[in-house]
Amino acid sequence: MTTIAILYQALPPPLIDGLRKDPKPGGYADSGADIGCALRGAGFDILTPVAEPDPGRMFDWVFPDTLEGIGAAVNAGADILWANTVLFEGHPIEAFLHSHWIVGQLPARQQAVDDKFATNALLRAQGLPVAASLMTGAGLTPEQLAAEGLQFPLVVKPVRGRGSQGVSRVLDAGALDAALAALFDSGAFGKLAIVEQYLEGEELTLTVLHEAAGENGGPLVLPPVRRFNHADGVAPYNGIVAVTANSAALAPVEMENDAVCAVMQDCAAVFEALGALAPLRIDCRADAQDRYVIFDVNMKPNMTGAGRPGREDQDSLCTIAARAAGWDYVGLLSAMLACAWRLDDQDQILVRSHHG
């Protein structure tokens, strides 16, 4: 039996080109504990930093993603490193990519995709429907907005953000200037921001997994999840409102809609274009023509799941989608394990379920 160690974000995210991704309080230890507790309950060999982990104490289940923390897990016998953290180029896990199976993204790819502006530009260049936007470090004139086809209302958000943290809708030039100033003055994200087309239509979130998680070849797209009860046009940050309170998977008959079928195909194309190896969460909203347009790609979606004491409402968007596909939480986690990968001597990617 393979032994799994789950990592949490103990390292502060680096400053990249003057921009940063604000760390999540607790460093995803909450979802790490959810993962570990659920898998151990299903019979998986979960390595923990304490001999008798308490389901009510999240840090009992996870190792820090420092070199020392990963080394401790490896020295204790871990075969699989579950990178439930934000990876970046130069992350300590890079020392183990050839020797251990990884659940997570290639660090350099995750760093690249976390630049939301560059990622959307890349996808737009490939013909995928992406919200119009520009990047700025100062106020914008009406002429600058018009040159990009932007008009109010607009969305202001960090370049390297996390979920809806720091995201706001603005209705006029004064509100735009105030939102940019507040974002820059916070110091949380750096001195550049994205100003983006606001899409008035329905919001869907899609979870996409590596082809190793399915049976039909190509990326596996789980049932889309509808978001509702927005706060001033923006889905509230899940640290404030549990997504189970404002999200529900589409019914099978709704998935037969042409626009929904099209966005599922688009999201599969996104997964392939970005070379993802672990689940992506892709956020889309319908435009005036009822076509779903991509506005955010998350290489490290939240992976919480109900099960531990007091967390009955903590299914993530990915977990909600998985349940609609007929999986329970352990089923989703098992599919992620099937996609674990490592590098061979020529730096080629080997997927565990394909290579043993």
The string of pLDDT tens digits covering residues 131-171 is: 999 999 887 888 899 988 899 999 999 998 877 788 999 99
Q: Could you tell me the pLDDT band of residue 21, with boundaries at 50, 70 and 90? A: confident
pLDDT per position as a tens digit, 242-262: 788 889 999 999 999 999 999
152-174 b/e with 16+ CB inside 10 Å = b?
ebbbbbbbbbbbbbbbbbbeeee
Task: State the average pLDDT for the chain.
Answer: 93
Q: In this predicted model, which residue has the larger pLDDT, 140 or 130?
A: 130
Residue 237: the pLDDT is 66
Residue 282: the pLDDT is 97
219-236 b/e with 16+ CB inside 10 Å = b?
bbbbbbbbbeeeeebbbb
Q: In this predicted model, which residue has the larger pLDDT, 237 or 54?
A: 54
At residue 181, does pLDDT exceed 70?
Answer: yes
> At the fourth CATH level, which superfamily is domain 132-197?
ATP-grasp fold, A domain (3.30.1490.20)
Residue 211 has a CB neighbour count (10 Å cut-off) of 18
Residue 356: the pLDDT is 52
d(CA 180, CA 186): 10
Residue 238: the pLDDT is 65
Domain with CATH 3.30.1490.20 in the chain: 132-197
| Pairing of the two strands 80-83 and 193-197 | unpaired
Domain with CATH 3.30.470.20 in the chain: 203-333
Q: Closest Cα to residue 297, out of 325, 266, 323?
A: 266
Sign of torsion over alpha carbons 12, 3, 330, 208 = positive
Q: Could you tell me the pLDDT band of residue 239, with boundaries at 50, 70 and 90? A: low
Q: Could you tell me the pLDDT band of residue 60, with boundaries at 50, 70 and 90? A: very high
Q: Could you tell me the pLDDT band of residue 349, with boundaries at 50, 70 and 90? A: very high
- In single-letter form, the type of residue at position 41 comes to G
Share of the chain above pLDDT 70, in %: 98
Residue 173: the pLDDT is 92
Q: Give me the phi and psi of 225, to 5 degrees please.
A: -115, 125
Residue 257: the pLDDT is 96
Q: Which long-range contacts (CB under 8 A, 24 or more apart) does 238-247 make?
A: 238/163, 238/164, 238/302, 238/316, 239/24, 239/25, 239/165, 242/313, 242/314, 243/315, 243/316, 243/317, 243/320, 244/313, 244/314, 244/315, 244/320, 245/313, 247/205, 247/317, 247/320
Q: Which residue has the tokens 């991704």?
A: 21
Residue 295: the pLDDT is 95
At residue 83, does pLDDT exceed 60?
Answer: yes
- In single-letter form, the type of residue at position 337 comes to L
pLDDT per position as a tens digit, 182-193: 988 888 888 899
Q: What is the mean pLDDT of residues 192-213?
A: 94
Residues 247/224, Cβ–Cβ less than 8 Å: no
In SS3 terms, the chain reads as CCEEEEEECCCCCCCECCECCCCCCCCCHHHHHHHHHHHHHCCCEEECCCCCCCCCCHHHCCEECCHHHHHHHHHCCCCEEEECCCCCCCCHHHHHCCCCEEECCCHHHHHHHCCHHHHHHHHHHCCCCECCEEEECCCCCHHHHHHCCCCCCEEEEECCCCCCCCCEEECCHHHHHHHHHHHHHHCCCECCEEEEECCCCCEEEEEEECHHHCCCCCCEECCCEEECCCECCECCCCCCCCHHHCEEECCCCHHHCHHHHHHHHHHHHHHHHHCCCCCEEEEEEECCCCCEEEEEEECCCCCCCECECCCCCCCCHHHHHHHHCCCCHHHHHHHHHHCCEEECCCCCEEEHHHHC
- In single-letter form, the type of residue at position 86 comes to V
pLDDT per position as a tens digit, 274-316: 999 999 999 999 999 999 999 999 999 999 999 898 898 899 9
d(CA 56, CA 258): 44
d(CA 257, CA 246): 22
Q: What is the mean pLDDT of residues 91-119?
A: 96
Residue 304: the pLDDT is 96
Q: Could you tell me the pLDDT band of residue 24, with boundaries at 50, 70 and 90? A: confident
Q: Could you tell me the pLDDT band of residue 204, with boundaries at 50, 70 and 90? A: very high
At residue 241, does pLDDT exceed 80?
Answer: no
CATH number for the region 203-333 comes to 3.30.470.20
